[in-house]
Amino acid sequence: MSATVIDGKKIAQEIRNEAKAEAAALVEAGVQPCLVVVLVGADPASKAYVGSKVKACEETGIKSIKIEMPATASEQDLMTEIDRLNSDASVHGILVQLPLPMQMDEDRVTERIDPAKDVDGFHPENVGKLSIGIDCLTPCTPSGIPELITRSGIAMSGKHAVVIGRSNIVGKPMMNILVQKGEKANCTVTCCHSGTQDLKQFTQQADILIAAIGVPEFVTADMVKPGATVIDVGINRVDDTSAARGYRLVGDVDYASVAPVAGAITPVPGGVGPMTVAMLMKNTTKAARMIHGLASR
């Protein structure tokens, strides 16, 4: 017996196709959805992420604008740019690529973005609405996970979901998503983290196990209940002299040992990763619809 491999590439493509149809409907209604991505500095990983977002926009029919600022820019320079984008009616989504240089405060920058254009879902107002259960823009990575699960034919309601990790980008919003009512949630939710004692006793009880720790191959077979759905949010580089690049990408789950135990599992790469950009496209069309009163807010 081996786990069903959850095909993140295929499901991400489905979602991108839906976003493409939504973008076309917006254009039909006279609205060209537009995402602005702000990149401060020249971190190679950040440049690559921004590049893939811009490319996804092109394929989806979303106008994209890339704004590059030098690593030496001041926080005020960035704030001025955000203010300009907030008041530009032709812009529906604003994404400031993280991390930011040391001289900038990420919380302050995030709070400056108009919540209605906050396609990353990181503004406190959106974080709060997500918890309360008010429709809003929600963080891309955790929002993609119920899509991965349910579109693979796995029911979520009533299941016990265990989240490992309490980051503001994945763990905490994941917990707040899973606890809501609705078919793509309604889970009993446990959140484990660095303060958890005897982690294994919790993970072994998970029907749905979501690993977002940032430690390579941390989750091993003995931590997983047979038949569980295992979602691996990690993307870690580990040295590998046999690889042309000198490293390979692995998740937070020890795939080789866990796959034979799990009922379903996401690979790395090709699992959670492709969903993040797909959900960003969805968020951008949603922001455009909300701003133009074409959807409930």
Q: Is there binding between residue 76 and a copy of itself (CB under 8 A)?
A: no
Is residue 34 a contact partner of residue 65, using CB atoms and an 8 Å limit? yes
- The verdict on whether 97 is a catalytic residue reads yes
For residue 188, what are the β-bridge partners?
A: 160
**Residue 99, preceding bond cis, omega within 30 degrees?**
yes
Name the residue type at position 165: G
Tell me which of 118, 120, 232, 252 is the catalytic residue: 120
Pull the structure tokens for residue 261.
């135990």
From 61, 142, 146, 173, residue interacting with a copy of itself (rule: CB under 8 A): 173
- List the strands of the sheet with 93-96, edge to edge: 63-69, 34-40, 93-96
Is there a binding annotation on residue 167?
Answer: yes
Is residue 86 a contact partner of residue 114, using CB atoms and an 8 Å limit? yes
- The verdict on whether 53 is a catalytic residue reads yes
Tracing tokens 């537009």 back to the chain, one arrives at 34
From 192, 230, 250, 268, residue interacting with a copy of itself (rule: CB under 8 A): 192
- The residue (of 192 and 259) whose beta carbon lies closer to a copy of itself is 192
Interacting positions 216-235 with a copy of itself (CB under 8 A): none
Is residue 46 a contact partner of residue 97, using CB atoms and an 8 Å limit? yes
> Of 58-66, 139-147, 160-168, 283-291, which segment contacts a copy of itself by CB under 8 A?
160-168
Is residue 78 a contact partner of residue 69, using CB atoms and an 8 Å limit? yes
- Binding-site size for a copy of itself (CB under 8 A) equals 37
The number of beta carbons lying within 10 Å of the beta carbon of residue 9 is: 14
Q: Distance (Å, rounded) from C-alpha 132 to C-alpha 102?
A: 33
From 5, 101, 125, 151, residue interacting with a copy of itself (rule: CB under 8 A): 125
Interacting positions 129-158 with a copy of itself (CB under 8 A): 129-134, 157-158
- The residue (of 165 and 271) whose beta carbon lies closer to a copy of itself is 165
- The verdict on whether 184 is a catalytic residue reads no
Q: Is there binding between residue 176 and a copy of itself (CB under 8 A)?
A: yes
**Catalytically annotated residues:** 53, 97, 120
Query: What residues make contact with a copy of itself under the rule CB under 8 A?
Result: 107, 123-134, 157-158, 160, 166, 168, 172-173, 175-176, 179-181, 186-193, 195-197, 202
